[in-house]
């Protein structure tokens, strides 16, 4: 149930989108959809492209709160930098705060937190620039995954089955800022679990046409299949419980999405948390919400309600 009935209670809302990260185009697509949905529900919402323009508008007193649908880091608004700026201006915003955003964006540190709590995550080796990647691969064993430690949307990710392909995978990941991460490739099913306030949405089993769920399968292809709920009965309940535990462990709140691999033996492995998930026509949280009886406009309204921290 929505807590707020009158759209005027939100005040004038900035829908922050676009920005300067590697995920700019996805963010613009998400933002356009969110903006239209909020406006259709009577919210006084306006698009703002990127963090500098947003902060200028907020300092000028133009907005009461922010719906953050910026994706990624380095101008993407999902890494804690924007959250810190908004905190300093005392402007409420959707999604996780500084700590949860920063920790979730850094996959290596996310995994260290989960590891320390005994939560399952694939074996990994952090790869600072210049690290001996072949020694790391011997430690992990093939097959493995190489990816930037701080990017989303499967940007720069390669599945590596043989040593001869390792250098090319590292070269691709190094095109993005920050350190790299190498981890065991879990072969099995890819699932994702959306979280809205304290409600855990049904899981989604992702069945891409190709070998794995890459950027193209996420945002371009129309032949990826989504099965929701992805599991049934007790195994579905335990996956949802694990996802909420992983979300809480990173200090996240408001809303988000937890990505998980389920191996052939039925064990769940935590991959990452997204603190500003996509809201495009292909996106996963809207699909899971719809199965729960929450349409797209209502979903956007509920996410906007998370900007009221006390009772999000």
Catalytic residue among 213, 219, 253, 296: 219
Paired tokens of 195:
């979280």
Annotated active-site residue 215? The verdict is: no
Cβ-contact 130, 147 below 8 angstroms: no
Catalytic residue among 76, 278, 302, 305: 278
Alpha-carbon distance of 280 to 246, in angstroms, equals 24
Annotated active-site residue 274? The verdict is: yes
Catalytic residue among 31, 272, 283, 307: 272
Annotated active-site residue 219? The verdict is: yes
Annotated active-site residue 213? The verdict is: no
Residue with tokens 């389920």: 262
Paired tokens of 147:
């990816």
Beta bridge partners of residue 17, listed in sequence order: 49
Catalytic residue among 33, 274, 283, 307: 274
Phi–psi pair at 199, nearest 5 degrees: -90, 125
Catalytic residue among 50, 259, 302, 307: 259
Residue 62: how many other CB atoms lie within 10 Å: 13
Catalytic residue among 24, 240, 257, 262: 257
Cβ-contact 215, 205 below 8 angstroms: no
What burial class does residue 61 get, using C-beta atoms within 10 Å of its C-beta: 0-12 exposed, 13-18 middle, 19+ buried?
exposed
Residue 54: how many other CB atoms lie within 10 Å: 28
Paired tokens of 37:
């949905």
Annotated active-site residue 50? The verdict is: no
Q: How far is CA 120 from its chain centroid?
A: 19
Beta bridge partners of residue 125, listed in sequence order: 182
Annotated active-site residue 151? The verdict is: no
Alpha-carbon distance of 18 to 77, in angstroms, equals 9
Paired tokens of 2:
């929505």
Catalytic residue among 27, 101, 153, 268: 153
Annotated active-site residue 23? The verdict is: yes
Catalytic residue among 18, 19, 21, 23: 23
Which positions are annotated as active-site residues?
23, 153, 219, 257, 259, 272, 274, 278
């Amino acid at each position: 149930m929505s807590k707020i009935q009158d759209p005027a209670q939100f005040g004038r809302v900035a829908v922050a989108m676009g920005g300067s990260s590697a995920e700019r185009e996805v963010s613009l697509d998400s933002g356009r959809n969110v903006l239209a949905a909020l406006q259709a529900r009577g919210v006084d919402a306006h698009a703002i492209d990127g963090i500098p323009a947003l902060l200028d508008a907020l300092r000028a007193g133009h907005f009461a709160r922010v719906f953050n649908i910026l994706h990624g880091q380095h101008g993407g608004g999902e890494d804690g930098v924007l959250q810190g700026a908004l905190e300093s201006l005392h402007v409420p915003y959707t999604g996780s705060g500084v700590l949860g955003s920063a920790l979730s964006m850094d996959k290596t540190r996310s995994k260290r937190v989960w590891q320390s709590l005994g939560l399952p995550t694939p074996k990994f080796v952090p790869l600072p620039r210049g690290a001996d990647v072949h020694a790391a691969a011997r430690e992990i064993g093939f097959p493995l995954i190489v990816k930037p430690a701080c990017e989303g949307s499967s940007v720069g990710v390669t599945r590596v089955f043989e040593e001869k392909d390792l250098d090319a995978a590292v070269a691709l990941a190094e095109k993005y800022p920050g350190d790299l991460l190498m981890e065991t490739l879990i072969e099995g099913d890819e699932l994702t679990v959306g979280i809205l306030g304290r409600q855990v949405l049904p899981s989604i089993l992702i069945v891409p046409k190709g070998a794995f769920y890459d950027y193209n399968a996420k945002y371009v292809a129309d032949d990826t299949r989504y099965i929701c709920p992805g599991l049934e009965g007790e195994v579905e309940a335990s996956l949802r419980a694990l996802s909420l535990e992983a979300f809480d462990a990173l200090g996240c709140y408001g809303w988000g999405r937890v990505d998980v691999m389920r191996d052939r033996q039925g064990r769940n492995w935590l991959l990452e948390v997204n603190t500003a998930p996509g809201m495009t026509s292909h996106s996963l949280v809207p699909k899971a919400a719809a199965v729960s009886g929450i349409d797209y406009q209502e979903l956007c309204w509920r996410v906007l309600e998370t900007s009221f921290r006390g009772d999000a």
